[in-house]
Each structure stands twice: as C-alpha cells, then as structure tokens.
Amino acid sequence: MSIAFWVSKVLSAPIGVICLAIPSVVTVTRRAEPRLTLVSGHDIDNPAIVFERLMKESGVQSSLPSTERGLDEALRAVSNTMRAQYTLAYYPEQSSTKLRKIEVRVDRPGAHVFAGRFVGSDSNVSEVVHFEEGTCTVSPRFHPYPYESKLSPNGMIYREDFTDPRSGWPNHETSHYVSGGYQLSTVTTFRQNVIAAYGPWWTDFRASVNVNAVLSSFVVDGEPQAGPLRPAAGVVFRFNQDGYYALLMNGVAGKNDWSVKVVKREFQSDSYTEKDIVPWTRVFIAARSGTDLSVEEIRDQILIFVNGQKVISARDDTFDQGYVGFVVSGPGRATFRNLLVEPK
C-alpha cells in the first residue's frame, strides 16, 4: 500500500482531495523539495506541493493527514463543505477565448471560499447563449426549460407522462425515470426522505398523479406505527426555499386499508420540522393499478382526493407558492405516473 487518495465530486466540480501518508512508505512533509523518495528508491512529486497547486487552480480543499484521527477530521471538513456549498452558473459572451480567469468573492467576514480560478469552454460547443437585452438573464425564448415541452399550447396546463428522460426531472439513483413513470426509492440509501420537484412554479392549482407504492411495514401489536417508523409516499406541493406541504399515504400493497395525512415541513438548516395539518386518516382503496392522488389548493384551503373522492379538507397559510413534486419517507419506493397540474 502506498498513498491513498480520496476525491469527491458534486456537479463535476471537485471539492476535496485527501492524501493519507503511510509512514512505512513515505513521509509527506510540507518542505519545499519538489520530489520525494519512497523507501523503494523511486522518486515522486511532493504531494504537499501538488495538492497546494491543485487547491489554488481548481478551488478544491486539500489535506495531508498522517493519522487516523487526522483522516477523520479531513473527511468531516469535506462533509461540512458539501452541506454548505453553492453552485454558480457562468455564461460568458461569445468569444474566441477558450480559457477565462474568474474570481469568487463573498461579502461576509470570516467566510472562506473554495472556487476554481479558471473556466474553460468546449471547443466543440457551437451554441450561443442568448440573454435578455441589458440583463444577465438567459432568454427563455431561445433556451426554454425542458418541462415547457409538456405544457399546453397556452402554457397553462402541465402534463408529464415521464416517457422522455430529457423532460427535466432529476435522473439518478434515488429518483429517476422508469418505463412510463418516475420512481423514488430510499431502499439503497440511508436517507430518511427522497424528494423530487420540478416543472412550473404554482400558486393556486390542482395536481393529480397515479401512485404505486411499495413500503416497508412497521407494526406493533397489530397497529401501524406513526412518526419516523411509518413509511409513506405521496405528493409534495408549494415546495420552496422555506419548506413544503406533503400529502402522504401509507399501507400495504394489495390491501384495501390505507391511511393518508397532510403535513407541513419547514426547513431548519440541513433538517426540517414537521407538523401535521391533518393526522393519519384511514381510507378504503379498491384493488387497482396504483392510486390516484389529487391535491387542490386555493389560497389557504387544501383539498385532498383519493381515487376521485374528497377525503380531507384543511386550511394553512404557511406556504403560498412553489413547485409540485413527489416524496418517499422511510424505507420504500414509489412509482408516479401521469402527472397533471392546472391552475385554479
């Protein structure tokens, strides 16, 4: 074993490089020598100098721990950075220049910025980015959002059948397109919730979708358990930077006895607080291919429909606008089909 490297990437931007020095192989120091000699007699570039240069040029964090404790601290530092990172989009004007020098500054005392110093362009890319005249806003006329192909001709009704993976929804391990649908899953991760929200920004609306959920069942003395032990799937709405509402359903696939509830989740740092708008309410769901869930919200009034029947009516004015999307809470997976959202 020689020197171990660990690199993490988010959105193709490296944010951390860690080199663990193995004393029996080489002693990594920050002295100025550009080359170091391994115990085998081979010379290598001094990792301290290489990583320092990499950090300056590409904006990554670098660390050279020599103990397990130091490695734990370095990993924790990278983890903290991942939770606090921001992504900036940069659209340069058309130019023959392939490499541009950039600088990111933060107007906040004590803040440390890790950002690349240069940005390059792909010489094979011929598309020109068009801006609204006199602004830095990318023109929606020349660069429409992918979901716009799913809007009605008058731009009011949003229909998504998830047959085209290019229609804009997140597409990775926990939330991705499947045949004729879109699936969320927590089965292969340790995450409590998986959420995907996309499409137009809504104020007053009605949203409908067909849901086929397979959830793990937690039962004590014959009764399903509430709280974090009760897995659920459903629809999120008015999803914005402050939080969202969620219509959740819980039950066993193939059974008729299910429960639904509406919750409000407000973001708190990297977590959230949850409050029931309507507690778990039992509903009868006839055996069929999936369950049709509908949410109608006009101002502060929330109406919930299951297979066309109204089952919940409530009021809350915490969130007044946002995206519509899906959620799986707790262990399970759910497939969503035929999303329809229209203004009210």
What CATH number corresponds to the domain at position 267?
2.60.120.560
Together in a domain, 60 and 11: yes
The pLDDT of residue 214: 86
Nearest to 103 by CA among 43, 168, 57: 57
Together in a domain, 69 and 112: no
Give the three-state DSSP class for 226: coil
Q: Among 53-62, 219-228, 273-282, 288-297, which stretch is predicted with the lowest mean pLDDT?
A: 219-228
- The whole-number average pLDDT for the span 172-200 is 89
Together in a domain, 28 and 128: no
C-alpha 277: how far from its chain's center? Answer: 25
The CA-based angle 318-336-206, given to 5 degrees, is: 40
Together in a domain, 321 and 182: yes
The two counts, helices (H) then strands (E), for the chain are: 2, 23
Together in a domain, 131 and 177: no
Together in a domain, 156 and 134: no
Q: The tokens of 173 are what?
A: 């391990």
Q: Among 80-94, 159-173, 224-238, 311-325, which stretch is predicted with the lowest mean pLDDT?
A: 80-94
Of 76, 110, 143, the last residue of a domain is: 143
- Say how many domains are in the chain: 3
- Domain of residue 100, residue span: 92-143
Average of per-residue pLDDT values in the chain: 79
Together in a domain, 107 and 167: no
Residue 266 to residue 331: CA distance in whole angstroms: 22
Which of the four pLDDT bands, split at 50, 70 and 90, describes residue 130? confident
- The whole-number average pLDDT for the span 43-57 is 69
Together in a domain, 246 and 206: yes
Together in a domain, 218 and 285: yes
Q: Is the pLDDT of residue 23 over 80?
A: no
Q: The tokens of 134 are what?
A: 């006199």
Q: Is the pLDDT of residue 25 over 60?
A: no
**Do the beta carbons of residue 25 and residue 3 sit within 8 Å?**
yes
Burial class (CB in 10 A: 0-12, 13-18, 19+), 307: middle
- The whole-number average pLDDT for the span 1-30 is 48
Identify the DSSP state of 132.
-
Q: Which helix (H) or strand (E) holds 258?
A: strand 257-268
Higher-pLDDT residue of 122 and 157 is: 157
The position carrying tokens 């220049």 is 97
- How is the chain split among helix, strand and coil, in percent rounded to 5? 10, 45, 45
Together in a domain, 306 and 164: yes
Residues 6+ apart with CB under 8 A from 21: 3, 27, 28, 47, 64, 65, 66
Together in a domain, 178 and 138: no
- The whole-number average pLDDT for the span 143-164 is 91
219-266 confidence digits (pLDDT tens): 445 554 444 458 899 999 999 999 999 999 998 777 788 899 999 999
The pLDDT of residue 225: 45
Q: Among 7-11, 93-97, 335-339, which stretch is predicted with the lowest mean pLDDT?
A: 7-11
The pLDDT of residue 269: 77
- The whole-number average pLDDT for the span 109-130 is 66
Of 35, 65, 84, the last residue of a domain is: 84
Q: Is the pLDDT of residue 127 over 60?
A: no
Nearest to 329 by CA among 244, 229, 198: 229
- The whole-number average pLDDT for the span 175-187 is 93
Whether the pTM exceeds 0.85: the reply is no
The pLDDT of residue 296: 97
Higher-pLDDT residue of 91 and 264 is: 264
Together in a domain, 298 and 168: yes
Identify the DSSP state of 151.
B
